[in-house]
Amino acid sequence: MILKGKRGIIFGALDEKSIAWKVAEQAHAEGAVFVLTNAPIALRMGAINKLAEATNSQIIGADVTKNEDIENLITQSVEILGGKLDFVLHSVGMSVNIRKGRHYTDLDYENMHRTLDISAISFHRVMQTCMKQDAMNEWGSIVTLSYIAAQRVFPDYNEMAEAKSMLESITRSFGYHFGKLKKVRVNSISQSPTKTTAGGGVKGFDGFFDYAEKMSPLGNASSEDCASYVITLFSDYTRMVTMQNLFHDGGFSYTGVSQEVVSS
Ligand SMILES: NC(=O)c1ccc[n+]([C@@H]2O[C@H](COP(=O)([O-])OP(=O)(O)OC[C@H]3O[C@@H](n4cnc5c(N)ncnc54)[C@H](O)[C@@H]3O)[C@@H](O)[C@H]2O)c1
């Protein structure tokens, strides 16, 4: 029960495969109370109701690109949960150009603006709104999810590479200000390829997944493992970790080449 008494908001549980879904299950098991949120269109799929029931949580719809939605979400969450927040999980990402099948060298820039808004700027929006509403408790923890294409080229990851680079930069920059003001810590977790709706949308995902599995001494990290790592970051055991991009990838990021890749 390492999250006993803690309150939070979890963004991005779409279905049982979602990383946010696993985080919600584990946070509940560790004693936390939280509000679940997703885009209104995702809520219409209905799967999240099952999670809300299982974790005794309320759901509030919010499009992360809309200020008024985020303001309303945070005000209502503090009211529903009966106090300020101790943690926020931002587990949100979407590339419009990938969805529309546009190659990286043929991007539509309106689509790209939207991709950056949903996948990176929204993290700033959520933190800025929390700060303006003074909605975070001291020593609170905010976590987002990234991918190693922020540092290295994975050609099919397309414009999401830019989105993740920006996301990691916002993590550092906002982490500085939130740390100074309220001792709130802000980190990104750079996760292995994971079989979810967002992951599967990337062209050649199975190839990525198998390659990373062969390269990583521990193999790919699952969504359950990722959730466990998130829980440690929400707990009081990691109070001095902030402004970091933390690789959670079975060793992939520091492996030059593996025997399995050489022999395949
Ligand atoms: N799956 C992977 O291989 C992988 C690897 C590294 C990082 N990540 C990151 O993990 C995070 C979670 O993705 P996932 O793999 O669990 O997939 P997922 O598809 O289950 O989650 C993505 C979520 O973003 C939400 N979303 C999209 N647009 C939104 C909007 N306008 N407003 C609010 N919510 C919106 C979706 O509804 C969905 O719930 C993403 O940031 C993703 O980039 C995923």
Q: Kindly give the distance from the C-alpha atom of residue 145 to the centroid of ligand 1, in angstroms, as a whole number.
A: 8
Task: Confirm whether 1 is domain-assigned.
Answer: no
Task: Confirm whether 27 is domain-assigned.
Answer: yes
Contact 228/26 with Cβ under 8 angstroms? yes
Q: Is 92 in the pocket of ligand 1 (CB under 6 A)?
A: yes
Q: Please tell me the residue having the least CA distance from ligand 1 atom 33.
A: 39
Q: Kindly give the distance from the C-alpha atom of residue 162 to the centroid of ligand 1, in angstroms, as a whole number.
A: 16
CATH number at residue 230: 3.40.50.720
pLDDT digits (tens, 9 = 90+) for 143-193: 999 999 999 999 999 999 999 999 999 999 999 999 999 999 999 999 999
At a CB cut-off of 8 Å and minimum separation 6, what does 66 contact?
none
Output the pLDDT for position 46: 84
At a CB cut-off of 8 Å and minimum separation 6, what does 2 contact?
30, 31, 231, 232, 235, 236, 237
pLDDT digits (tens, 9 = 90+) for 194-206: 999 888 888 888 9
Torsion-angle region of 152 (φ positive above 0: left; ψ -120 to 50: alpha; else: beta): beta
Contact 157/202 with Cβ under 8 angstroms? yes
Q: Is 65 in the pocket of ligand 1 (CB under 6 A)?
A: yes
Q: Please tell me the residue having the least CA distance from ligand 1 atom 5.
A: 193
Task: Confirm whether 37 is domain-assigned.
Answer: yes
Output the pLDDT for position 220: 98
Task: Confirm whether 165 is domain-assigned.
Answer: yes
Instruction: Give CA angle at 82 (133, 66), nearest 5°.
Output: 40
Which tokens is 162 given?
Answer: 């830019």
Nearest C-alpha neighbor of 28 from the set 49, 8, 11, 43: 8
Q: Look at the chain and report how many structural domains it folds into.
A: 1
* Sequence letter at residue 59: I
Q: 3-class DSSP state for residue 10?
A: strand
- For ligand 1, what atom is nearest to the CA of residue 63? 32
Q: Is 198 in the pocket of ligand 1 (CB under 6 A)?
A: yes
Q: Please tell me the residue having the least CA distance from ligand 1 atom 38.
A: 12
Q: What are phi and psi of 250, to 5 degrees?
A: 65, 15
Q: Report DSSP state, residue 222.
A: P
Task: Confirm whether 2 is domain-assigned.
Answer: no
Q: Kindly give the distance from the C-alpha atom of residue 263 to the centroid of ligand 1, in angstroms, as a whole number.
A: 34
- For ligand 1, what atom is nearest to the CA of residue 14? 39
Q: Kindly give the distance from the C-alpha atom of residue 202 to the centroid of ligand 1, in angstroms, as a whole number.
A: 12
* Range 244-254 average pLDDT: 98
Helix H or strand E segment including 190: strand 185-191
The residue range of the domain holding 37 is 7-263
Rounded to the nearest angstrom, the gap between the alpha carbon of residue 123 and the centroid of all alpha carbons in its chain is: 9
Task: Confirm whether 214 is domain-assigned.
Answer: yes
Task: Decide if pLDDT at 77 tops 90.
Answer: yes
Task: Confirm whether 41 is domain-assigned.
Answer: yes
pLDDT digits (tens, 9 = 90+) for 209-247: 999 999 999 999 999 999 999 999 999 999 999 999 999
Q: Is 118 in the pocket of ligand 1 (CB under 6 A)?
A: yes
Q: Kindly give the distance from the C-alpha atom of residue 20 to the centroid of ligand 1, in angstroms, as a whole number.
A: 8
Task: Confirm whether 235 is domain-assigned.
Answer: yes
Q: Is 216 in the pocket of ligand 1 (CB under 6 A)?
A: no
pLDDT digits (tens, 9 = 90+) for 122-156: 999 999 999 999 999 999 999 999 999 999 999 99
